[in-house]
Amino acid sequence: TQLLEQSPQFLSIQEGENLTVYCNSSSVFSSLQWYRQEPGEGPVLLVTVVTGGEVKKLKRLTFQFGDARKDSSLHITAAQPGDTGLYLCAGAVSGTYKYIFGTGTRLKVLA
Partner 1 sequence: ETGVTQSPTHLIKTRGQQVTLRCSSQSGHNTVSWYQQALGQGPQFIFQYYREEENGRGNFPPRFSGLQFPNYSSELNVNALELDDSALYLCASSLVSGSNSPLHFGNGTRLTVT
CB nearer partner 1, residue 80 or residue 94: 94
Question: CA separation (Å) from 4 to 16, 28, 70, 95, 101?
Answer: 28, 10, 9, 18, 6
**Cβ neighbourhood burial of 82 (10 Å; 0-12, 13-18, 19+):** exposed
CB nearer partner 1, residue 60 or residue 98: 98
Count of residues that bind partner 1 according to CB under 8 A: 29
- Tell me which stretch binds partner 1 (CB under 8 A): 57-65, 67-75, 76-84, 93-101: 93-101
- Tell me which stretch binds partner 1 (CB under 8 A): 14-22, 33-41, 58-66, 73-81: 33-41
Q: Which residues contact 20 (CB under 8 A, 6 or more apart)?
A: 73, 74, 75, 76
Contact residues toward partner 1 (CB under 8 A) are: 4, 6, 30-31, 33, 35, 40-45, 48, 50, 88, 90, 92-104
